[in-house]
Amino acid sequence: MDMKVKGSKELLTEVIDTGLCTLCGACAGSCPYLVSYKGRIVLLDNCTLSEGQCYQYCPRTCTDMDAISRQVLGMPYSSDELGVTKEVLMARSTDANIKGRAQYGGTVTTILSLALEEGLVDGAILTRMSDDKTPSAFLARSRKEILQGAGSNYMACPVLEVLNHIPKDSTERMGVVAMPCQVLALSKMRNEPPQDRMNIGNVKLVVGLFCTWALSLNGFHQFLHENLDLPRVIKFDIPPPPANRFDAYTSSGKISFPLDEIRKFIMPACTYCLDMTSEFADISVGSVEGIEGWNTVIVRTDVGADLMKMAKKKGKLEVNILPPENLAHLKEASLLKKKRALKEIITKSGDRKNLLYVGLQESIIDNLLA
């Protein structure tokens, strides 16, 4: 894999125009030329620089998984289905307010509120549903604002653009709730801290989300607009298989769409993603299949572990062992995503030696292709 850092021109030709861009937002706002707009990354002017931070921190350019893993987690890149894990649990909030707003168990909202309360962070970068029901990323500085971030959005949102807009002399400590691709970009930044920007060391907590795929804002919003009375929509949900549905909850009830109808709006970039569980986060959170109202929680770092312990001790979270069948199922799903993605990458590049943006050890590649 070519480890050379290139510029915005190559970002366009290698990532954005080839269908690899996940709209993570790592490039947007890193300079005045790159912005996100209605589900796309737009280059407003022609930059002639041959090297740029836009290319450097993009999770779809030269990413050495092993180097990042060692820097962020202190361990080599794991061949385990779920990546590096200290513990895998299930948890849910004890707060009725949070539970009322939560998609599943409300764990993310609880953890962030606790981190804010305890002074571990001064703010958190989250997404919330805006008036037109598309996700919009924002910086929350109070418990009330964090609560606005509760609930799943299913559409790709350039969250890291908010991080890029934080002034470079800021001393505020940040938490970030991010998708696997965004966590990867953050990890690249932690690996080689960006110059002349907010100190990446201020990011004290990364909460990663489980993700199979994300929907493209572009086409999907039009679909929602045509098929729903958007002002009346309260939340969206994709129940676990075998439901095969996309549900929209409105003030007058639930409207379902066959999931197959929605699949065409999946971001093409998701096909090439190897990470279902945000393997470089402090804590990774998802649903528990078949058990409503709970979260699967993967603890990966000391920061994550300490926070989970505190949450349990202070009675903010109810924590249990994850049932073995659920764990097995989770591992299976995660492994399937890795295998599929690797195959797609090799099909796209046409060469087993060319994995496009990702660097993996041979042994790992062999395992996944076996």
Burial track 259-285 (b if 16+ CB lie within 10 A, e otherwise) = eeebeebbbebbbbbbbbbbbbbbbbb
Tokens of residue 110, six digits: 């609880």
Residue 33 interacts with other proteins (CB under 8 A)? Answer: yes
Toward other proteins, which CB reaches closer, 173 or 197?
197
CB of 348 to other proteins, least distance (A): 23
CB of 30 to other proteins, least distance (A): 8
β-bridge partners, 245:
258
Please state, in angstroms and as integers, the Cα–Cα distance from residue 269 to each residue in 29, 49, 181, 230, following that order: 21, 26, 10, 27
Residue 52 interacts with other proteins (CB under 8 A)? Answer: yes
Q: Which of 1, 18, 40, 99 binds other proteins (CB under 8 A)?
A: 40
Q: Which helix (H) or strand (E) holds 304?
A: helix 302-313
Residue 134 interacts with other proteins (CB under 8 A)? Answer: no
Cα 138 to its chain centre, rounded Å, is: 15
Stretches 46-54, 227-235, 313-321, 351-359: which one binds other proteins (CB under 8 A)? 46-54
CB of 357 to other proteins, least distance (A): 22
CB 20 within 8 A of CB 10: no
CB of 40 to other proteins, least distance (A): 6
Residue 333 interacts with other proteins (CB under 8 A)? Answer: no
Residue 86, classified by CB atoms within 10 Å of its CB into exposed (0-12), middle (13-18) or buried (19+), is middle
Task: Tell me which residue has tokens 């676990």.
Answer: 240
Toward other proteins, which CB reaches closer, 40 or 70?
40
Toward other proteins, which CB reaches closer, 37 or 201?
37
Toward other proteins, which CB reaches closer, 11 or 358?
11
- The one-character DSSP state at 16 is I
Residue 12 interacts with other proteins (CB under 8 A)? Answer: no
Tokens of residue 4, six digits: 């050379």
CB of 306 to other proteins, least distance (A): 36
Residue 277 has phi, psi (to 5 degrees) of -120, 20
- The one-character DSSP state at 361 is -
Q: Which of 15, 31, 166, 281 binds other proteins (CB under 8 A)?
A: 31
Q: Which of 10, 14, 53, 288 binds other proteins (CB under 8 A)?
A: 53
| Interface pattern 196-235 for other proteins (x via CB under 8 A) | x---------------------------------------
CB of 31 to other proteins, least distance (A): 5
Give the total of residues touching other proteins (CB under 8 A): 19
Stretches 44-52, 84-92, 291-299, 358-366: which one binds other proteins (CB under 8 A)? 44-52
- DSSP per position, 66-77: HHHHHHHHSSPP
Burial track 198-218 (b if 16+ CB lie within 10 A, e otherwise) = bebebbbbbbbbbbebbbbbe
Query: Comparing C-alpha atoms, which of 133, 250, 113, 267 is closest to residue 177?
Result: 113
12 residue type, one letter = L
Q: Which helix (H) or strand (E) holds 366?
A: helix 362-369
Longest dimension (CA), the chain: 55
Tell which positions 147-206 bind other proteins, by CB under 8 A. 195-196
Toward other proteins, which CB reaches closer, 223 or 249?
223
CB of 166 to other proteins, least distance (A): 13
Toward other proteins, which CB reaches closer, 222 or 244?
222
Toward other proteins, which CB reaches closer, 40 or 235?
40
Toward other proteins, which CB reaches closer, 52 or 106?
52
Stretches 28-36, 169-177, 231-239, 305-313: which one binds other proteins (CB under 8 A)? 28-36
Q: Where along the sequence are the contacts to other proteins (CB under 8 A)?
A: 31-33, 35, 37-38, 40, 42-49, 52-53, 195-196
